[in-house]
Structure formats: C-alpha cells, structure tokens
Structure 1
Amino acid sequence: MKLSLFSTFVNLLSLAPESWSKKETTCKHCSSFVVDYPNDRFLLDGKPFRYISGSIHYFRVHPKYWKDRLYRIRALGFNAIQYYIPWNFHEVYEGQFDFSGWRNFSEFSLIAKELGLYTLLRIGPYTCGEWENGGFPWWLLNKEDCHPRTSSKGYLKEVEQFYNVLLPVIKPLLRQNGGPVLMLQIENEYGSTSFCDRVYTNWLRDIVRRHLGNDTVIYTTDGGSEAYLKCGAVPGTYPTVDFGPTSDENIKKAFEDQRKFMPGGRGPIANSEFYPGWFVLWGAKTAHEPSADAIVKSAKYMYSLGASFNFYMIHGGTNFAFWNGASSDAPDITSYDYFAPISEAGDVNEKYLAIRKWIKSIPDWKNKPYDVPANNKSAEF
C-alpha cells in the first residue's frame, strides 16, 4: 500500500506543468546583487548593472523633507543613494537603541525604493562624515581596553553589541530579501590610518557575514591609490576608491590600483566618494568648490571606463543639534551644504542642471531624468 501511494505520487509529479521546474531556474536570481569579478561588472537580479548614486544623510534632513530630497535625486537620473549609519545617533545612551522617527533609516530607504532608488549602506562602526566623534558614542571612550578602530577586546565587545541590534534591522532591506540595499560598507577609509589592524577588519567582515549571510556584498572605501588600499582593502570584500574631479590620467590610475586588490585583478570599478563640493570649517572664508564643467568632465570619463560612482554629497543638509564633527584644526560649521548639486535648502543649482543634462544624453542609461523640480518657496534670508 505504501509503495502504491509512492508510485502514484511520482506519477503525479511527472504530469506537473513544465513551468514548475522552470520557475526555480528563472527565479534563481530574481532578487540578488553580486559582484561578477571575471566579467568586470555587477549583476542585479541576474542582469548587468551599474550605478550612478548620490550621498544623502537621513540624519541631516528633517523627515518632513525626506521624500522631496529623494525625489530630486531620482529626477536627476540617478538610480541609487548612499548613506552612513552613525552608531552614536542610534545609541546615544549605552544600551538604549533607537531606530524610530528621525532615526528610522529603514523608512528612508523604503521611500527611496518607491521612487526607483537602490541603497548603498555604510555601517561603520567608524563613519567619519564630518559627524560628531566620527560616529562613535561619547560613552565608548570611557570603556576599559577600548581602543577604537583596533582589535582591542573592549572595543570589539561594544561593536558586537551594537551590530547584534543593527544588523537584524538591516536584514529585511537586503536585495536578496527583496529590499533596496545592494551593498554594505564596513569601516571608512581605514587605509588612511596608521593602525592597519587586519584582525579588526577581518572581524568586521566576519560578523556581518554571520548575521547577513555569505551572499551579502560587503565593500570598503579608501583613497584612490595603492598606498591607501593596501591596509584599507579587506580580503573577501569588494574594494572601492574615492576621489574628486581630476585628470583622466589620475582617474585611470586610481581604478588600476583598485583592481590590484580584486581577485585576479578583475572586477567592476567604482568611486564611492566623487566630490562635487566640500565641507566648511569654522573660521574658513571659503570651501573647495569644483566647477560644474570639471564635475561633468570627470563623470563622463569615469562612465566611459565602465565605472559606477557615487556623488558625495548630492545633498548635504544640516548638522542639527550640535552633531557636527571636527577636524584637527577646527570644528565643522552647522551647515553641511557641501556646495552640493542640491543645496541645504533643497534647491537645484548649476551643478544639478549640468549633471542632469549629461545623464539625459547617455544613450544606454535607463534611469532617464525627470523634469527639473521647482525650487521650494522660502522666506528671505
């Protein structure tokens, strides 16, 4: 009797629609993001992909304006955003975690997704970003055997406790789970430090994999030369570089150095921080501000090489509530306008229009720009 029922079941399976077996094959990459190193490309849901993205920080934009600013980024023709998650913004007081309201980055990314924008995350634990203490909570500095950005036991213990809370919040947002998050950056420009603590950076890689799985793309960002990458790149992760508008020769050299830290010297090239402006310190008369022509010239050349790149910043926002950080010589001012293509007030400017005009002219770019958004009404100032 048992054998008879089994035989019947097998016969029924043989009569199943052919689409059943095809579904598993065709949907193998239905929701995924991978680095295809041998073919120098990314694959999004199994198809070749590249990004032109812009940095915008949810913690520097009032939630009331999240959708407006994100729409302006999409209208520019971009297909992704990038942002940090500052540890100290979510654990102001030890053991008290907050991911609600202004701190609800999940909602921020879901709004971006609705508008057609993917997300590139930067989870620290050190983030820099001209933010208070580089993203580290104030109370961290009082801990025993806690030396930030190293493998000291006290530091790793605190990072692990934060990641044990943070990473489960991120998990539903990952592309493999149907969400908008394509990649996660660990640390930030670590090759610019003198630590070069590989036990630490490998540990960061491993804890992210333990929580989020081996199919999660982890990346790093460092200055555009081998000197920075040799301590910043982490084995088993995707290395990227950063630099602003410069000569074609310098751009080509930076990407050549990037590939030296990829498997077999092959892989997609990417600039994670392409600077259309710069921050301002207290007491400074002006800031470094590349022209719209210089920005577009370098962007065009990067695109011609097949690169993906992120504008840091596309919209700067404001350092509310004294969250502004400091350099060794002076603190950052309250405004984080950054001389970005979308101003602190949300207005589009000459840089925005020049970038939009160029993107609109790219024949093979799918995310065509929308009409130029009108600037918001404001009182005189």
Structure 2
Amino acid sequence: MATVRLPSGPLTLADRRVWDKPATPFQTRLAYAAAHVVADPRAENSPGAPAALDWAATLAFRQHLWSHGLGVAEAMDTAQRGMGLDYAATRELIRRSAAAAEGPIVAGVATDQLAPGPVTLDRIQRAYQEQLADVLTAGAAPVLMCSRHLAAAARDAEDYLTIYRSLLDISDKPVVLHWLGTAFDPALEGYWGSSDVDKATETVLELIAANPAKVDGIKISLLDADHEVRLRRRLPAGVRLYTGDDFNYPELIRGDERGHSDALLGIFAAIAPAAAAAFAALDRGDLDEYDRIFAPTVPLSRHIFQKPTFYYKTGIVFLAWLAGHQSHFTMVGGLQSGRSVPHFARLVELADAAGLLPDPDLAAHRANRFFEVMAG
C-alpha cells in the first residue's frame, strides 16, 4: 500500500482507479480544459525572468487532455498569463499547441505584450489586434481575455464596446468573450465599465446582441452561479455560456429545464479523466452517475481555488507532478511558492478521495520527498 507521510500523520492512498477514455466526442456539451505550462526546471524561471518552458512536457499534457475528449483552452490565465508567462513564450505556446492539436483548441487574446502602466486606448486596441492576428494565424479560435490595461484606461462602458467591436469586426472566426472576476485578478475591478455586476452585464449583453454571429459564447469566471444562470437565460439563441465557475461547475453544466452551461475550466486540467467520465454519463442520460463522479471533485476544486484564488495554478501544477504528467514541481516565475505546506497536504487527501492519482506509488514517493524537504 502506498502511504504519504503528511505533516498531520500518515495517509494510505486508495488503489489506482482506471478511468475509461471516451470513444467518441461528447454529444451534449462542449468542454475545454484551460491547460497549465510546464517550466524548464534547469532554466532561470525566477520572478521577472523570461519564461523558459519544457516544450515536450507542455505539449504532452495537452495530448493527455485531448485523449480524454476535452478541448484545450490555450494560453489562458491557467498558463500564468500575467503571472510569469511573457508574451514571446505565449505566442510560441499558441503556435506549437495549434500545430499539434488533436482536438478542439481555443487560445487567449490579451494585451500583455504591453509594459505595465498607463497606455492609451488606441495602443490597447492595437495590442489586442496584434494578438488576435497571432491566434488566427496559428489556427486556433480566439478567446478575448480581459485586459488589465483596458481596465485601467477605460472611462466608461462605451470605451469597452469600442475596443471589443473593433476586434469582432476583424476576426474571421467567432470569438469567445471572457469575463474574469476580481477573485482571479484584482486589477480587473470595474471591467465592462462598472463595479456593479448588473450594469456590467447590460454592457456585455449589448455587445453580444449587436454581434450574435461573431460571438460563439462567453466564459464567465465570477464564481456567482446565480448570476451565471441569469445571464445564460438572456443570451441570444446560438450563443453559448461557458462556465468558468470552479466552485459550482457540476450544477451549471448539468443545467435545468431552461438550458445549461458548457465549460471552459481550469480545474478540468486537474480532473480530466473524471470530467470525461462525467460527460460520457451525461451523454447517456445517466444523471446519477454524472453527479456521483463529479461530487468528490468539487471539494478538491474549491480547495485549489481558495483565496487568494489567483494562486490556483500552483495546485494545478502540484497535482500534475503527483499524477506523473511532469517530472518536477517548478513553475515559471517561481510560482511554486504560491501555496503553503498545509494546503498541499490537504490537496493530496482530496485528490486521493477523487481517484485522481493514477499511480499511487509514484504519487506517494513524490509527495513524501516534498513534505520531507518542506516540513522536515
């Protein structure tokens, strides 16, 4: 039996759980996993240094996601946009992932090639357009991410509408809009022109209503399930709501008699085998099995995404290391320091309970080495 010597005492890991991979694409929902990046552990990768990636391991992880029937959401905040991943590495990441794609791929468009600090709206618009061209050239579908620069520079809702309309006009593919809340990035306070969520929602709906053929959907990451449902019910026909709610995703994807959310989630990078099995159950109409599979993943997700939420990437990478998807626990920008030893100990317990440690012996070996060094 594989045993982890946690700071609180020994934990005997459950036997390996084998998850079936889907034989056909999911029929009832679209699902994307926002994928993390694997740092090159022999490179600098210190805070402020240009990101150096292990390209083979980074792309292998994406193949893992595609093999479970999930699409890949590339170069999103899970990949440390704005938290260590510079735009030169981002552009190369999108190019390589799109070229290697074995399933659906969307990719983030932002303005993070600009230096921090005040920037004109015109320069923000050009920065967005530059990144949009990079994503379209690579062959991925664009996700228009929130911009810290725009949040700082915009005077009102009309400034947001002007920028976003220009991007919709030039994109030759429908885009996914992305509304990221302040739990994920405090610099985005007041996005869409107001700190009042209801007023901001009206601006978003105005943009979509005027351009329904140009908008594939909108990803909502506000961690407010009731707001997501209200917005979902007001979207034009054919425009999807992609949940980014890593606290309440099972119920939002399950839906109700008036509709459901599709998914674009960071937690799916950590729970891909379970998520695939849950979607297969949903396709069969087996809602009890769907609920049973997802239930133990929710405490794990809520733990990984606990405050300060923007450090959730650290838990995602730690679990990828324990699960054998990479050979080390080093992150770009030194972000492996973003969580505490008690946080990692609880993460091991919850991942084990959810059946997400595919090789218990390997997971125990790596966890024991980690806790020996970090906790003595």
TM-score normalised according to structure 1 size? 0.48
Q: Pick 1 or 2: higher relative contact order, CA cutoff 8 A, min separation 6.
A: 2
Q: Considering only CA atoms, is the larger Rg found in Structure 1 or Structure 2? A: 1
